Chain A
Amino acid sequence: MLIFVGFFCIYYFYYHKNQTGQNNSAASTLASKNFDTNIEENQTQSYFLSIENLKINAPIVLNVEGNDKNAYYSALENGVAHMKRTALPGDAGNTVIFGHSSYNATNNGNFKTVFARLNELKVGDTIEIKSQNKDFVYKIMEKKIVSAEEISVVHQDKTTQRLTLMTCWPVGTVDRRLVVIAELMR
């Protein structure tokens, strides 16, 4: 009887040890977070960028993925690009629009140098975005040159209504970025 009990104990001891050993990790829960940009994927509204001082009048291609080179090169053949996940014109936040300062001569498109003279803009100048329903007038507050890694220029602060124009600088290179920042006047 004792032998039976002894072997039973040995069996149960090892079985139980293996079972409990699996429960030693503490529970952890991480919240998954989504950034809601409040931007509809399919916009039917058409917008045009108008800068009278530079004689620029270009269609704005909406919701262009700034991380996808093929996508934005394709969009830039048809105008300037509104960066996806940034505010739409007139909305709270930062409307980021970028365009070519130069491009290869053999490539397609009529807007290969649309922002080549962007550096001629001065603080206080105005920029217009026109749509079927409303025109938005922005006043330039700042002009600066930054590195390609300076992604803070696309930051969305929804307490403001900002427009950021961006292009490669100097012309003929992709070295840096010329950035013009304007605030909505009306």
Chain B
Amino acid sequence: MKKLLVIIFASLVLATALPLYLVYAGFGQEGAFINVKARLEVSKDNVNWVNYEAEDDSGSGTLTVSPGDTIYFRLKTWNTGTHSVANVAYAAAFTNQQYLIDSVMFTGSGGGSGDLGDDGDPANGYSMTGEGYNSETGIATFELSGVAADSTITSGYQSGGITSQIATGTPDQTIITAAVTISDAVDLEIGWLNNIVSRAYADEFGTTTIGIIVSNPAVANNTADQSIVQTLPATGPNSADI
């Protein structure tokens, strides 16, 4: 009898969860409750922004830069769902990050941490935490305390940026990419059910990328010494034959 009661209770809970799940698919899957989106862009002048891939309106653009150029990354994020969301976690991965120098995260471009919204609304009280950008690994992880419901890419969004510089000596045609993935979020209004309702973590729509091509003809004319020889040839007695 007790076993039957437990099964019935569990079934009731799960039956409640099912309809919730159907409308709460998670990041970028058009869930009705929360639907957090992100768009990463890059610029040489902090004015004209280029995006390669995003859930909405992928630009398929690639920025061509030269060694010594200062470049700006900007990440915008917003939530088209009806519920406010908290603790939104992001992970960014850069390739060929050794050619990005003097990187400064979330200052001076794309809004900066003092105005995450970059929309005249001083951060909506939101704040950013996390590990920041690690120039050795090319990985950045950070978390926003909140993203407002019913926000869009032009209104109520949050944004932040990284200012960086292309290293001198970067080989010609080097491709640098950066991808940002939304890895977690908590629906404030569902509350404790966040731990019960399944969510589509970092689904295929939760990633946005940019691409940069470095143009450096001067280096293109040079052949790397390492590719010619590892050590200079031995032109004395051959010890193996002595």
Contact = CB atoms under 8 A, between A and B. Distances in A.
A5 B177 contact: no
Given A3-B7, A28-B179, A31-B174, A166 B95 contact: no
Contact of B236 (A6, A13, A72, A174): A174
Interface string A1-42: 011011111100100110011011011111101010100000
A76 to B, nearest CB: 7
Contacts of A115: 235
Nearest to B180: A26
Among B15, B233, B235, max chain A CB count under 10 A is at B233
Contacts of A67: 229-230
A5 B233 contact: no
Contacts of A122: none
Interface string B206-242: 0101010000000001111111111111111111011
A2 B15 contact: yes
A28 B179 CA distance: 7
Interface in A31-68: 31, 33, 35, 37, 66-67
A182 interface: no
A136 B237 CA distance: 31
Given A16-B198, A23-B203, A104 B238 contact: yes
A85 interface: yes
Contact of B11 (A2, A31, A148, A167): A2
Contacts of B96: 30-31
Interface residues on A, range: 35 or more
Given A13-B198, A24-B202, A26-B207, A98 B233 contact: yes
Contacts of A103: 235-238
A155 interface: yes
B222 A151 contact: no
A35 B13 CA distance: 63
B188 to A, nearest CB: 22
Interface string A80-122: 0101111000001100101111111011000000010000000
Nearest to A31: B175
Closest CB pairs A-B (n = 5): A6-B11, A168-B236, A31-B175, A26-B93, A158-B221
Given A26-B207, A33-B174, A99-B235, 15 more contacts: A10-B14, A20-B200, A20-B201, A26-B93, A27-B209, A28-B177, A100-B236, A103-B236, A148-B234, A150-B232, A154-B228, A156-B228, A166-B232, A168-B234, A174-B235
